[in-house]
Amino acid sequence: MNEATTARVIQFTFAGSPLRAQAERVDRVHTNVLFITLIRSKFIQYVATGLSLLPGFLLQPLQRLLPPQFYLPGRLVLKTRKPDWGDEFANEKVMYQRLEPLQGRIMPRFLGDAEFNGIPSIVLSRLEGSPSYKQGPTALPADDFERQLKVLLQEFTKFGVIYDDPKLDNFLVVKGKVMVVDLESVCEEDKQDQELAVESHRLHIMPQYRRCLESLSNHNSEKETITNSTGWTSPRPSYTEIVRTTPKSYPSNVRTDL
């Protein structure tokens, strides 16, 4: 088992209530981000399932009356503030609020503030998809990915901001739809630079994505050759590490080295 992502039980505080959850790191790099699954009794799970079926105008008043374990989704993301990243952490919360209409459409939903090990954190909905560079044999074709990517980046500009952390691992594919995570580096820009950023980031990301598809295609061809010649399939090799760089920000008042 991968020690970097081994599941463990944690306790964190959300809306004044202590919650327990099974937790594991999303990957080796983002050590401050955890996939968590709430630990709840069967009764609470039953109630939570029923509440999740209610329309928002009925659920919201109940959320003010009930402990969070009754209304939170069972599978979540817990993101903790990194050392010396207070400004970026605060910026991410501000941007989730500013971009509220985009939540659940192209990005996670911001569910609220939390505290984990005495460190300020946020709780987000979990996007049940795959990182764009870790898709399987049914990976999104490059043209489709590029079309959705451009639309996604343009959605930010409608709110006077740009998404300024264009790394491939920040883009997920969820049921054929491209979505984005990590709003720490979202920043305001004037109209001219917004358009420039969209095009620059598209040109930066697409060669990386095409290399991923090429690597996947080569692997599948090699796997098919081995299967046809021997009658069995060799273990799948691990993906080679993809070099990801971030272009200069417009301006770079927020670090983008996550």
Task: Supply the DSSP symbol for 205.
Answer: H
The CA distance from 141 to 162, in Å, is 25
pLDDT given at position 56: 83
Higher pLDDT, 254 or 50: 50
The domains of the chain, with CATH numbers, are: 3-125 (3.30.200), 130-230 (1.10.510.10)
Q: Residue 254 — pLDDT band, cuts 50, 70, 90?
A: very low
> 147-171: per-residue pLDDT in tens?
999 999 999 999 999 999 999 999 9
The CA distance from 38 to 69, in Å, is 8
- Crossing angle for the helix pair 142-157 and 191-230, to the nearest 10 degrees: 160
Report which of 47, 27, 7, 82 is spatially closest to residue 244, judged by C-alpha positions. 27
Contact residues for 105 (Cβ-Cβ < 8 A; gap 6+) = 155
Report which of 101, 112, 109, 145 is spatially closest to residue 128, judged by C-alpha positions. 109
The CA distance from 150 to 153, in Å, is 5
Report which of 11, 37, 40 is spatially closest to residue 24, judged by C-alpha positions. 37
pLDDT given at position 181: 97
pLDDT given at position 230: 38
The CA distance from 258 to 183, in Å, is 11
Higher pLDDT, 249 or 39: 39
pLDDT given at position 136: 86
Which segments within the chain are labelled E, that is strand? 8-14, 17-25, 33-38, 75-80, 110-116, 119-125, 130-131, 161-162, 171-174, 177-180, 187-188
Q: Is the pLDDT of residue 242 over 80?
A: no
Task: Taking residues 46-74, report their average pLDDT.
Answer: 91
Cα dihedral value 218, 222, 227, 232, nearest 10: -110
Task: Taking residues 37-55, report their average pLDDT.
Answer: 94
Percent of the chain with pLDDT over 90: 72
> 5-27: per-residue pLDDT in tens?
678 999 999 999 999 999 999 98
pLDDT given at position 223: 53
> 220-235: per-residue pLDDT in tens?
555 554 444 434 333 4
Q: Is the pLDDT of residue 219 over 80?
A: no
Q: Which run of H or of E encompasses 230?
A: helix 191-230
Q: Is the pLDDT of residue 187 over 60?
A: yes
The CA distance from 150 to 195, in Å, is 11
Task: Supply the DSSP symbol for 250.
Answer: T
Task: For 139, list phi and psi in degrees, rounded to 5.
Answer: -55, 145
pLDDT given at position 228: 45
pLDDT given at position 137: 86
pLDDT given at position 243: 34
Residue 51's CB is within 10 A of a number of other CB atoms, namely 16
Q: Is the pLDDT of residue 258 over 50?
A: no
Q: Residue 60 — pLDDT band, cuts 50, 70, 90?
A: confident
